[in-house]
Amino acid sequence: MEHNERIYVAGHQGMVGSAIVRQLQKAGYEQLIMRTSRELDLRSQKAVDQFFADQKPDYVIVAAAKVGGIGANSTYPAEFIYDNIMIEANLIHAAHQWRVKKLLFLGSSCIYPKFCPQPIKEEYLLSGFLESTNEAYAIAKIAGIKLCQYYKQQYGDNFISVMPTNLYGINDNFDLETSHVLPALIRKFHDAKETGADKVIVWGTGKPRREFLYVDDLAEACCFLMQNYESNHIINIGTGKDLPIRELAEMIREIVGFAGDIVYDATKPDGTPVKLLDVSRINQLGWQAKTPLRAGIEKTYTWYTRSDVCY
């Protein structure tokens, strides 16, 4: 990507999209195209086609998506499958029609089969049953990956798909009804400290193991791949390290400074038991995650307490 070329970041206000914008600006890219969901409804093919006709982006990064944790996925599966399929189909097809030079589509590690061998290699996609609690989202994201692969296969479009692990960081979603586990725990422990509560209830047994990547590291990886990767195969982005949710909860309790107890509600679902990505492919290309988990959580909590999202 040349610095004078036009780059459209879809979903620039979200956690991932905003981090990618920060990274691009840091690298000296000035011709960034951005639209809010109010300005451009990505679920409308007509609106998306008109946008591409008007703006003619050279590059497209698809970070726009409807996302959420186990609760949100279980409660709103129709919206999760419909919105995501429409968003990605419209963007990928328009990128093909207007002959963009390259497109990067963001998938998610949660779309791998529930009982994958660990660590998860890219070729394990579609090798088994999906996790039921996020099946709608997973099916939509798999459709986006396949769209990229088939457009490349049939037309030669330079479309790539990346598979990030669990993400956290600045501009995360801290709403307890729709958030993922790490920001939800930050919110719970912070609220408990502020109200003087004696305990925090955590969903599940605390036994599942998860890998977490600081979102600014993901943004750096995406920009790296836009310059250095053109394969039709998906590529994982992660740290290659995981930990039990119990250890994560203890770490966040210490960072927040909550002195009470942690109670695990085993009546709530655990989700996939283990989810660790094999990141050897991207490491071999020359990229590795930089931010240690504790340091990343400390940065995120500092931002949370100073921002207007701190409830």
- The 10s digit of each residue's pLDDT in 57-89 is 999 999 999 987 777 788 899 999 999 999 999
Domain assignment of residue 233, yes or no: yes
What is the pLDDT at residue 148? 98
Residues of the chain with pLDDT under 70: 309-311
State the binding site for substrate.
Answer: 188, 203, 210, 270
Is residue 181 in a domain? Answer: no
**Among candidate residues 269, 275, 274, 278, the one with its CA nearest the CA of residue 240:** 278
Whether 279 is covered by a domain: the verdict is yes
Separation of alpha carbons 193 and 277, rounded Å? 34
In the chain, % of residues over pLDDT 70? 99
For position 245, what pLDDT does the model report? 97
pLDDT of residue 311: 57
Left (φ > 0), alpha (ψ -120 to 50) or beta: where does 278 sit? Answer: beta
Domains in the chain: how many in total?
1
**Is 137 among the catalytic positions?**
yes
Q: Residue 272's pLDDT is what?
A: 78
Instruction: Give ∠ CA 218-151-58 in degrees, rounded to 5.
Output: 60
> How far, in whole angstroms, is CA 249 from its chain's centroid?
21
Residue at 299 is within a domain: no
215 inside domain: yes
Residues in binding site for NADP(+):
11-17, 106-109, 141, 164-167, 180
Rounded CA-CA distance 252/125 in Å is 32
Half-sphere exposure of 164 (CA within 13 A, CB side): 22
Q: What is the pLDDT of residue 310?
A: 65
- Helix 215-228 / helix 15-26 crossing angle, nearest 10 deg: 60
C-alpha span between 277 and 279 (Å, rounded)? 6
Identify the CATH number of the domain in which residue 128 sits.
Answer: 3.40.50.720
Structural domain including 230 reads 7-172+211-240+275-291
The answer to whether residue 249 is domain-embedded is no
CA distances from 189 to 111, 168, 171, 213, 248 (A): 29, 16, 18, 20, 12
The answer to whether residue 143 sits within a structural domain is yes
The DSSP 8-state label assigned to residue 39 in this structure reads T
Q: Looking at the chain, which runs of residues are DSSP E strands?
A: 7-10, 32-33, 59-62, 102-106, 159-164, 166-168, 199-203, 209-210, 212-214, 235-237, 243-244, 261-265, 274-275
If 0-12 CB within 10 Å is exposed, 13-18 middle and 19+ buried, where does residue 136 land? buried
Set 8, 112, 137, 168: catalytic member: 137
Quote the CA–CA distance of 229 and 159 in Å, as a whole number.
10
In whole angstroms, how far apart are CA 82 and each of 35, 79, 138, 182? 21, 5, 12, 26
Question: Does residue 121 lie within any of the structural domains?
Answer: yes
Note the pTM of the prediction, 2 decimals. Answer: 0.94
Query: What is the rounded distance in angstroms from the CA atom of residue 233 to the CA atom of residue 230?
Result: 9
Residues contributing to the annotated binding site:
11-17, 106-109, 141, 164-167, 180, 188, 203, 210, 270
